[in-house]
Structures are given as structure tokens and as C-alpha cells.
Structure 1
Amino acid sequence: MIASNQKQRIALSAYFLLSGICFSSWASRIPTIKANFNFSAEDLGNLLMILPASAIIGIPLSGWLVAKFDSRIPLQISSFAFLLSLFLIGFADSLFVLIIALVLFSISMRIINIAINTQSISVQEKFKKRIVGSFHGIWSIGGILGVLFSTIMIKYQISIFWHLLSVSIFGLIIILSMFPLLIKNDKAKTGNSFKLEKPSKYIALLGFMVFFAAICEGGMYDWNGVYLKEIVKQEVFTYGYLLFMVCMTISRLTIDRLMEKFSMQTLYFAGSILIMFGVSIAIIFPTLWTVLIGFSMVGFGVSGLYPMTFILAAKAKKYSLPIVISIISTYSTVGMFLGPPIIGYLAHVFGLQKAFIVFIIGGFMFIPLSKMVFDHLKMWEKTSTNQVN
């Protein structure tokens, strides 16, 4: 018989998998939406700006949910909303319906990110070895499955409606069957008071790290297909997305072992270099194979940033873990959804190749930010040692 903690790990893994499938299904269909509505790069940028705006609106709601309930409750509610929004994106035959769908998509995804990462840290406490990275790896596996399915749908010219409807039905089956197995009673007894106020320096630094990680990751999700279609002139524009997700998955499934062999600060630095170098290759040499190699490097570089940062979040003081993750996820969600419209606006003015320089800037930021984070931790350790002595 499977132990209770293993059942909880499997159930949570299913939610990570589904989240990856749903997000990649949306992201891989952005070029389809752009074509169906005859959007320019600027129009698409305006549309994508709805996502960060909605995420900010959802801050009070998500903060209240994680403070009020066990994390599995907001996870289930937001998962239902997420699947509904995905269906509406495929169903949308007018700009109004599409906007409503994206607002719901953004808010529900924000709540999922908080609840699912809170669950992952709670499950981690039941295991001796590190497993947080594996959850993010499973999210990436979901991303691969989603983009593989999207590639088949595009290849055989299946409409976006039937594509996203089938994903939504599959997702409904997953969340109904897995919900009873999720970890219960993980609401923190203290530190649950959620206030809109200036975060501590440590939490802010972690927030900015996931902000730039999200800009790089979110921008690659939304624009690598457009880059391959419009710059490299590839009809099956999901190849870059697929390879990017494969590389992210491989790296995330090994990040727990890498953290045992190397310091996190070293891994942040390596990720930064890979992102900057990979994007530079794609910009300077816009051919199919060089772009695919560049996107692969970005996938390897960005993969460990989220799991490492959420592990560091557990060291934060003042608030309970769900609240800390809620605050940090605000930066993440805004970055995830702010990056794509910024790329769209810059592409409209300077061209898509030059707009990709944003990713180089985002990748570079991990060098100074990670240094400040670990300097902060060393200061805490030194203060604690002095107090003991």
C-alpha cells in the first residue's frame, strides 16, 4: 500500500502536471490567436497587458484565501476557474469574451501558484531528501505534453476550440480525482495576517529574483513561437517551445541533486550566463538550428530559478510560509505577464530580434540579486551566532 505522504506527493504532482499542460496549451496557441484576430505585435502586446493588470487586482483575493483556508481549498477553486478560462479562450469569438477569459486566467493562475507552492513546501517537510525541484520538473513535463498535443492539433489543423475544450475536460477529471489526496491542515497558526505593505528587504530580493525569472520564462513561452514563425519562417512554430520545455524539464528533474553538489549561488550564476548566452545566439544567428540551440540554453538556465527561490522563501521571517509565497508570487505573476507585452511593444518599435534583448537584461539581474540574497543570509547567520555566544 502506498504511504500517505507518497499519495500526497503523487496528488500534488498531478496538479503541477496539469498546470504545465494548461499553461503551455495557452502559450503555444498565442500565434493562432494573433492570426485569428489579425493582431499586430502592438495589438498582441496590449492584449497580453491584461494579464499583469488582472494579477495585481487578484492580490487581495489571493492573500485572503491563503490566510483563511488550508492551501488545498484555494488550489481546487482556482483550478476550476483556470480550466474554465482555458475553455473560454478557445471559445472566444469576440475580443470581449477573450478579455474576460484572460482576466479569469490570470487571477486563477496567481492563486494556483501560491497554493501549489505552499503545498510543495508542506509535502517537502515529510521527506528527508529534497523534492521541491521535482515538482517544478513535473510542471515542465506537463508543459512538454501540452506543447506536444498542441503541435498535433496545429499539424492536423484542429481548431483552437476543440483543442482547449479537450484539455479542459481532461483537467476536470484530474482535479476531481486528486483533490481528496492533497495534504490537509497546512494552514499556519501564526503570521497569517495579510497586509498590503512594504515587504522586508529579504522578501523583496526574492521577489525581484522571481520577477526576472518570470520575465525570461513567460516571455519565452509567449514569443518563441512567434519568433520562429516570423523571424525564422517556420510553419510548425512549436518546435522551439517544445525543445525549450524539454531542456527545462531535464534540468528541473536534476536540480535537487545539483543543489546537493553545488551552492545555490553558483547555480544562480550559471543560470544567468546560460540565459544571456542563449538569447544572444538566437538574436545574432536567426536560423532554425542556432535559434533552437539558443532556446535550449535558456531552458537550462531558467529552470532552477523558481525551485531554488521558493526554497529560500522558507527562511523568511515575520510572515507564515503561505503569506511569504503569496508576496513573492505577486512579483512572479506580474513578471510572467508583464514580460510578453513589453516584448510586444519593443517589437513594434525596434523589431522582434532587438526586443529579445530584454531577456539578456533579465538574465543578467540574477548575478547582483543572488549576491545580495546570500549576503543577507550570511548576516542573519552571523547575528544568530553572536546571540548564542
Structure 2
Amino acid sequence: MTQSKTIGQFLSSIPPENTATRAAFFLAGFIMAVWASMVPFVKLNLSLDEAHLGALLLCVGLGALVVMPFCGGIVAKRGARFLLRQALFAIPVILFAINFSTNTILTACLLFLFGMIFGSVDVSMNVHAVEVDRRSEKRLIAGFHALYSLGSVVGALAMAGLLNVGVELLIAVGALLVVCLLIWLFASPKLLSDAGKAQGPTKSFVIPRGFVLWLGLICLLLFMIEGAVLDWGGVFLVEEKKAAIENAGLAFAAFSTAMTIMRLLGDKLIASVGPRACVRYGCLLGAAMLAGCVFFANPWLVIALFFVLGIGLANVVPIAFASTADQNEMPMSLALAAVTTLGYAGQLTGPALIGFVAKASSLSFAFAMLAAFLVIVSFSSNIFRKK
């Protein structure tokens, strides 16, 4: 009885806005995992080849890039809650509608809209997270990002489980998205009404400058590396390290698993050693691991290096996002929108850049270039606060 009361007291002591923010991050990762599970079915239903599928998938990123620069202005005027609450109710509906499309152009339009809404989720969710983290005595930002990763894992496993026991795609997707809507129905009223809202009039869009621009460029490089590991890690293992093609996915699996684990531990680590040290030594560790991937030939050792790479980089992006609250050059919501947009630009352009560099030289040289980028970021760590 005492234990039950203690658990109840613990749960009641958690600020409701913390719970709502965790729910938003978890649901965002969960929904993206559901979409990832749908991709092979979309390819099959529309009879697409790899090139056309790639162009179709690009619509999601382009939709996000179009809307994200303007989300900061909306949040600054209306607050993160206004945008986040509506967007997380709308996005499951759009995703479910994609299942009924039998036309490539219509599907591309729906995916562009999906990307736009998810881009608004990303900006408003991170603005709300930064504000909750700023008001809390404890650091929370890395834990929020960990829940996005956890949601991705749970969503992928849930889709795989339902499809493997014979549930039809439409029913599986519909059931999981209904669960998302119900969770958000209960969680969304707990969002802060004033998170990200600027004091006084503000512009809808501001070109990033100074500290904010530097943060954005750091995120561009970091997202570029994450995109490269996602799209090229398996190819690198197979073509450069002669791994069996069945093991190609282990590179990104190791990387993302380490990211999830470290983000769950990240808030205590950041509070202990400080943001500046986390960025400096995390990026140097990552650079060493990428260099090791280039020089070592054993594929299993390279997979282990990808795991340590995830450990090094896990908390750098959360720190960069949280640092938008440490400047006075523009409203935090506009700053975070700019930083997030530059990050997405890196994630979209990174894999293409790696392809061009690999064609001109080699994939190993391209990965060595990514290691050099991380060294540059580590030397930029002084822009972050010590504690």
C-alpha cells in the first residue's frame, strides 16, 4: 500500500507539461515509423521503380522545408501549443489517407502535405521542449529526443508485429493511428499555452544571423552525418568492408540504438559535465569513430564503431536546440525554426553530397570528410555555455 502511494505521489509530482511534451516526441517518432513501414506497400501499389520512389519520398522533406521557416513566426504570435496541438491531430489523418491513393501525383501531393504538417510538428514540438527545459530545475531536453527514438522503435515493432500475424495493412495502420489520436486527445490539453510566444510584435520570418546562424550550420553538419549513416552506412559496409548484404542494416541499427540509449542518459550527463564538454568531446569521439570506419577492414568492428559514433553524437543536436533559448538576437521560436530548417536541409542534401564525393573519389574518402566536419564542430563548442 505504501509502495503504491509512493508511485502515485511520484506520478502526480511530474509537471503536466513534461508529460505532454514526452507524448508529443513519442508520437512523432511513432508516426514516422508507421510511415516507414508503409513505404514498400506504396511502392508496390503504385508500381514505382527505385528512382521514382526516391522522387516521391523527397516530397516529404521538401514539404517540411517549405513550411518550417514560417512556423517560428506562427509560434511567436500564437504559441507552440496552437500549432502543435492541431498538427498532431491532422497528421494521422493525412497518413491514413495515403493508403487510399492509387495515383502517383495525388500521393506526391499528400506526401508534400504530410511533410508540411510534420515540419510544423517538429518546430513547435522542439520550441515547447526548449521552454519546458528552460523552466525546469532539471535538464530534460535529451530525454525528450530519446522518446522520439523510442517511439520510432515501438512504432516499427508494432507495425511489424501486426503485419506478421496477418492483419491487413489498412487495419494495422488505422488501429495504430487511432491509438495515437487517443493519446494526444488526453495529452494535448496539458501543453503550455505561452511556450514560444514572443513578447510584443514579431516578424513572421527572420533570416538567421550570428549565434543562431552558427547553431544552424552546426545542425546542418550533424543532420548531414545522420542522413549519410542512414542512406550510405549499409552501402559502405557492403561495398567498402565486404560485409554480407543481409547485414547492411546493422550500421544504422547500431548507430540509432546508441543514440536512443545515450539520449535517455543525456540529461544527467549534460548537467554533470556541461553542454560545451558534451559537444567538444562527443564530436571528437565521433570523428575518431568515422576515421576508424575508414581505416579498419573488419565489418563487425566497423559496426561497433558506428555504435560508438551514436554515443558521441547523441546529445549534440538536443544541446544545439536548447541553446536557442540562450540568445537575444531573435525570438526563441524563430531561432529554433531557423536552426531546425538548416538541420533538415543538411539531412536532405547530405546523402546527395556523399554520393557526388564518392563518385569523384571513394565512399571512404566521403566518410573521412564527415570526420573532418565533426572536428570543425568540436572546435565550435565554445559558443555553448559551460554549465
Q: TM-score, normalised by structure 2?
A: 0.80
Q: Is the 8 A contact 2:72 2:335 kept in 1?
A: no
- Asked if 1:202 corresponds to 2:211, the answer is yes
Name the aligned partner's letter for residue 292 of structure 1. Answer: I
Q: 2:257 aligns with which of 238, 246, 265?
A: 246
Q: Is the 8 A contact 1:110 1:333 kept in 2?
A: no
Q: Quick one: distance in 2 between partners of 1:113 and 1:192?
A: 23
* Residues 32 and 270 of structure 1, relative CA distance in 2, 3 Å threshold: farther
| Superposition pairs of residues 151-300 of structure 1, within 5 angstroms | 152=161, 164-190=173-199, 193-224=202-233, 232-235=243-246, 238-283=249-294, 289-300=300-311
* Residues 156 and 275 of structure 1, relative CA distance in 2, 3 Å threshold: farther
Give the % identical residues.
25
TM superposition shift of 1:183: 2.0
SS of residue matched to 1:314 = helix
Structure 1, residues 55-78: CA drift from partner, whole Å, max 9, x if none?
A: 332145413421231211211222
TM superposition shift of 1:321: 2.0
Q: Quick one: distance in 2 between partners of 1:227 and 1:147?
A: 24
* Residues 264 and 176 of structure 1, relative CA distance in 2, 3 Å threshold: same
Structure 1, residues 299-347: CA drift from partner, whole Å, max 9, x if none?
A: 1122101221122211110322222212222212222333244445656
Q: Quick one: distance in 2 between partners of 1:118 and 1:200?
A: 19
- Asked if 1:308 corresponds to 2:319, the answer is yes
TM superposition shift of 1:83: 2.4
- Asked if 1:82 corresponds to 2:103, the answer is no
Q: Which moved more, 1:99-108 or 1:314-323?
A: 99-108
Q: TM-score, normalised by structure 1?
A: 0.79
TM superposition shift of 1:173: 2.3
TM superposition shift of 1:94: 4.5
Name the aligned partner's letter for residue 264 of structure 2. Answer: L
- Asked if 1:332 corresponds to 2:322, the answer is no
Q: Quick one: distance in 2 between partners of 1:180 and 1:228?
A: 46
- Asked if 1:365 corresponds to 2:376, the answer is yes
Q: Is the 8 A contact 2:229 2:251 kept in 1?
A: no
SS of residue matched to 2:15 = helix
* Residues 172 and 233 of structure 1, relative CA distance in 2, 3 Å threshold: farther
Q: Quick one: distance in 2 between partners of 1:104 and 1:229?
A: 35
Q: 1:107 aligns with which of 113, 116, 119?
A: 116
Q: Is the 8 A contact 1:71 1:187 kept in 2?
A: yes
Name the aligned partner's letter for residue 199 of structure 1. Answer: P
Q: Which residue of 1 aligns with 2:334?
A: 323
TM superposition shift of 1:234: 4.0
Structure 1, residues 96-129: CA drift from partner, whole Å, max 9, x if none?
A: 2442233223222221122112212332344312
Q: Quick one: distance in 1 between partners of 2:182 and 2:295?
A: 45
* Residues 137 and 157 of structure 1, relative CA distance in 2, 3 Å threshold: same
Q: 2:143 aligns with which of 134, 137, 140?
A: 134
What are the ranges of 5 or more consecutive residues in structure 2 without an aligned counterpart? 1-8
What are the ranges of 5 or more consecutive residues in structure 1 without an aligned counterpart? 379-389
Quote the RMSD (CA, aligned, Å). 3.6
* Residues 152 and 288 of structure 1, relative CA distance in 2, 3 Å threshold: farther
Q: Which residue of 2 aligns with 1:56?
A: 65
